[in-house]
A and B are shown apart, each in its own frame.
Chain A
Amino acid sequence: MMEKNNNESAASRKLERLWLLAKIEFKLRYYENRLGLFWALLKPVLDMAIYYVAFKIVLKSEVPHFASYLFIGLVIWNFFVESTTGTIQILQTKKYLYQYSNMNKIEIYLSVLFANSIGFFFNLLMFFLFYNLADTRFAGLNGSNLWIVPLFFILFILSLGTSLILSSVYIIAKDVHQLWTVFTSFLFFLSPIFYKLSSFKSALPGFDYVNPLAGIIINARRTMMEGQQPDYHLLLADTAWAIGIAAAGLLLLQKLGAKAAEKL
C-alpha cells in the first residue's frame, strides 16, 4: 500500500516537474520579446498571409478555401519544425538540469514539447476562430473535428522521436543542425502544405505514405475542414512511422545521449 502511495507521489511529482519546466520554457520563448504571447498567435497568421499572397494571388492556386487549407498545414508544420530544429542542441542548452543529478533526460524533451504543445493549441484555437468566423462556407464544427486529438498525439510522438535522434547525433556530429535545416526545407516542399492534394498525389504517387507529415496534414484537413473521417490507411502508416522513429530515438538517447554529460 505504502509503495503504491510512494509510486503515486513520485509520478505526480514528475508531472508537476514537467509542467513547471514547460511553463518556464513557454515563458522564455514568448514573454522575452515585446509582443509576448501575441507573437505566438500572430506567427501562423503572418506565415499564412505570406503564402496566401504567393500562391493564391501571384500563382493563382485553385485550392478552395485556400486560407484555411494553408493555416492548418502550417500549424502542424510549425509544431514539427519547432520541436525538431528547435531542440537539436537541447542536451547542450539544458545541461544544467542533468549534469549534477540523475534526472531522466526524457523529461527535458517532454517539457520542451509540452511548451510547444501550448503554442500549438493556441494556434489551433486561432484556426477554429478563423474557419468559423472568416471562412464559413465549409463543414464547420462537427464530431469529426475530435480526430485532431489522436492526430496531434501521433505528431507529438513523431516530433519527440525525431528530436531524440537529432539531439543524440548532435553529440558526435555538431553540423547535424545545418544538415537538418536543409532537409526540412526540402521536406517543406515535399509536404502538401500549399499544393492542391490531387496534384501532390499525382506528382508524387505514394509519397503521402513515405512522408508521415504529409499523412498527418491530409488527415487533419479531412477531419477539421471537410467533416470527413480520416484516411485510416494513412493514419495507420503515420502511427507506425511515429512508433518506429520514437523507438529509434529512445535507443539513440540510451547509446549516445547518455554520454552527453561527458561529451558536451
Chain B
Amino acid sequence: MAGQKEEDSRGPLIEDQGADAARMRRRAFAGQIIAGILIIFLWEFLTRIGWLDSYYWSSPLTIVRTGWTAITKGTLLQDLAYTSGTTIIGFILGTLAGSVIGLSFWWSGLYAKIAEPYLIAFNAVPKLALAPVLVIMFGIGFNSKVMLAFLMTVVVAAIAAHSGVKNIDRDLEKMLISLGAKRRHVFMKVVVPASMPWMVGILKINISLALAGTIVGEFISSRQGIGRMILYAGQVLNMDLVWVGVVSLSVLSIVMYLGTVWLERRLMRGRNPKS
C-alpha cells in the first residue's frame, strides 16, 4: 500500500534524459577512481606477499618514498622542468611550423604537387634514428632535444593541415571571390578556419610524439632530464628510481594531455561542436 501511494505522488513516469546522462557520468567517474585505487592497492599487496618481485616491480609506497627523496635531495623537479620545457617548446615549434607548411600548400597547386611525395617520404623516415646525428649537430644540451621533438611533430602537423586544405569545398572560395575577396581573404576566412579541426585533431598525438623525441634525445646524451635520470638509474640497477622516472613521465604526459585538451577548446571556441 505504501509503495502504491508513493508511486501516485510521483505522477506519470517521465524519462529525464539529462538526469540519466548525469547519473551515468557520476557512476563512471566513481568507477574510474575505484579501479585506480584497486590497481595501486593490488600492486602494493602483490609485491608485499612476494607474488611480484619487488626488485623489478618496486612498489607504490617505495616509489613514493624514493620520489620524495629525489625531489628533496636529488634533482627530480629540475629534471622534470627540463624535460617538459624541451618537449613543449619542440611541440609548439613543430606543430606551428608543420601547420604553416601544410596550409601553404593551398597557395599553389603546383608547389603542393611537387612537395607532397617529399612530405610522405620524410614522414616515413624514422626520426628517432637520427638522434645521434642531431646530438652531434646540435650538442648535448637543450637544442638537440628541442630539435628531436620538433622533427617528431612537424611532419604530422603538416600532413594534417594539408588534409584540411584538401577537404575545403572549392565553391566556398568561389563564393568569397564573387564577394570581392582577394586570395589572402580566402586564406584567412576560409582556409585557416576550415582546416582548424584537422590541425587541432593532431595536437594530442603530437604532444606525446614530442615527449618521446625528447626522452630519446636524453637517453642518447644529456646532463639533465627525466630520460637521463632513468638511464642512469638503470645503469646502477636502481629499479626504484627507474620507476620514479616512469611515473613522473606518466604524470607529465597526463598533464600535457590535459593542456592540449584546454588548447583544443580555446582554438575551437565559438564553434558549433557538431561542425
A binds B: no
